[in-house]
Chains A and B, each alone.
Chain A
Amino acid sequence: MHEKLQSLIIEDEPYYRSSGNEVALFSAAMKRKLPMILKGPTGCGKTRFVEHMAWRLKLPLVTMACNEDMTASDLVGRWLLDAEGTQWHDGPLTTAVRYGGLCYLDEVVEARQDTTVVIHPLADDRRILPLDKRGEVVKAHPDFRLVVSYNPGYQSAAKDMKQSTRQRFGAIDFDFLPQAVEVEVVAHESGVTPEIATRLVAVATQSRALRGRGLDEGISTRMLVHSGSLISEGIGPHDACALAMTAPLTDDPDLQAAMSGFVEAQFGPRP
Chain B
Amino acid sequence: MNAHFEAIQGPVSARKLGMLRDIDDCAYDALIRAMPLISDYLKNEIDLADLAGLLLQIASEKPEAARAFAHRIGSDPALVGDYHGLRRWAVHGLQKHRNDTKCMLHHFEWGSPQAYSDEQSLHDTEELLRERGALLHYLAGFGFSEFSIDLHEPDTDGRQTRAVTIDDGVIRYPRRFYGDTTDRALLRRANIAHVAAHLRHSPLRRPAGNRRPSLVAMTALVEDARVERLMVQEYPGLKALWGGYHTATPEVSGFDFAGLSARLARALHDDTYIDANPWVGKGRELFEEAASKGLDDVNAFDRLARTLAIDLGKMRLEPSADRQPEPIYRDDNAILWGPDTALPEDRERHSEIEIVDALQDGEKAERDVEGIDVRHRYRYPEWDHRLSELREGWATVVEEELPRRKTRPSLQRLTQPKITLSASARVPDRAVRLTRLTEGDEIDLNVVVENVVQQRARLSPDGRIFCRHGRRRRSTSVVLLMDFSISTERFVPGSFTKVIDIEKQAALVIAEAMEAQHDRIAIHGFSSNGRHEVNYRRIKDFDEPFGEEARSRLAASASRHSTRMGAAIRHATALLEAEAADHKVVLLLTDGEPSDIDVAEDDYLVEDAREAVVSGLSQRVRTFCVTLDRRADHYARRIFGQRNFLIAERASTFANNTNRTLTRLLAL
Name A residues whose Cβ lies closer than 8 Å to a Cβ of B: 68-69, 73, 78-81, 85-86, 112, 133, 199, 202, 206-207, 209-210, 213-214, 253-255, 257-259, 261-269
Contacts and interface: CB of A to CB of B under 8 A. Distances in A.
Interface stretch (B81-89, B415-423, B444-452, B607-615): B444-452
A269 B182 CA distance: 14
B470 interface: no
A78 B133 contact: no
Contact of B238 (A80, A253, A255, A265): A265
Given A209-B141, A261-B138, A269-B237, 15 more contacts: A68-B431, A86-B453, A209-B143, A210-B140, A213-B145, A253-B134, A257-B131, A258-B137, A261-B141, A263-B237, A264-B241, A265-B193, A265-B237, A268-B238, A268-B240
Given A78-B449, A79-B446, A268-B240, A112 B431 contact: yes
Nearest to A85: B456
Nearest to B186: A269
B446 A78 contact: yes
Most buried by A among B131, B135, B140, B192: B140
A38 to B, nearest CB: 24
B189 interface: yes
Interface of B is mostly: helix
Interface in B151-196: 185-186, 189, 192-193
A199 B236 contact: yes
A262 B196 CA distance: 13
A206 B449 contact: no
A257 B430 contact: no
A150 B490 CA distance: 60
Contacts of B236: 199, 266-268
B449 A86 contact: yes
B449 A68 contact: no
Contacts of B445: 73, 78, 80
Contact of B138 (A81, A257, A266, A269): A257
Contact of B235 (A78, A210, A266): A266
A35 B326 CA distance: 63
A66 to B, nearest CB: 13
Determine the interface band of chain B, counting residues with CB < 8 A from chain A: 20 to 34
B14 to A, nearest CB: 49
A268 B241 contact: yes
Contacts of B241: 264-265, 268-269
A73 B449 CA distance: 13
B142 interface: yes
Contact of B237 (A86, A258, A266): A266
Interface in B189-245: 189, 192-193, 234-241, 244
A168 B160 CA distance: 68
Contacts of B446: 73, 78-79, 133
29 contacts: A69-B430, A78-B445, A80-B445, A81-B452, A112-B431, A202-B235, A206-B142, A209-B141, A209-B142, A209-B143, A209-B145, A210-B137, A213-B137, A213-B145, A214-B137, A254-B134, A257-B134, A257-B137, A257-B138, A258-B134, A258-B135, A258-B137, A258-B140, A261-B138, A261-B189, A265-B235, A267-B236, A269-B237, A269-B244
Contacts of B239: 268
Nearest to A79: B449
A86 B446 CA distance: 11
Which 10 A-B residue pairings sit nearest by Cβ, starting from the closest? Answer: A268-B240, A258-B137, A206-B141, A257-B134, A254-B133, A265-B235, A254-B134, A258-B138, A268-B237, A79-B449
Contacts of A199: 236-237
A257 B134 CA distance: 6
Contacts of B456: 85
A79 B452 CA distance: 11
A224 B134 CA distance: 22
A199 B446 CA distance: 54
A117 to B, nearest CB: 15
Contacts of A81: 449, 452
Nearest to B133: A254
B619 to A, nearest CB: 15
B141 A258 contact: yes
A79 B141 CA distance: 55
Contacts of B430: 68-69
Given A206-B141, A254-B137, A258-B141, A86 B452 contact: yes
A258 B139 CA distance: 8
Counting chain A CB atoms within 10 Å of each CB, the highest count among B131, B449, B453 belongs to: B449
B466 to A, nearest CB: 15
A206 B234 CA distance: 11
B476 to A, nearest CB: 17
Contacts of B135: 258
A261 B189 CA distance: 7
A73 B142 CA distance: 50
A189 to B, nearest CB: 22
A79 B453 contact: yes
Contacts of B244: 269
A261 B139 CA distance: 10
Interface in B414-468: 430-431, 445-446, 449-450, 452-453, 456
A55 to B, nearest CB: 34
B138 A262 contact: yes
Contacts of A266: 235-237
A88 B137 CA distance: 57
A213 B237 contact: no
B328 to A, nearest CB: 15
B141 A267 contact: no
Contacts of A254: 133-134, 137
Given A81-B452, A253-B134, A265-B235, A207 B141 contact: yes
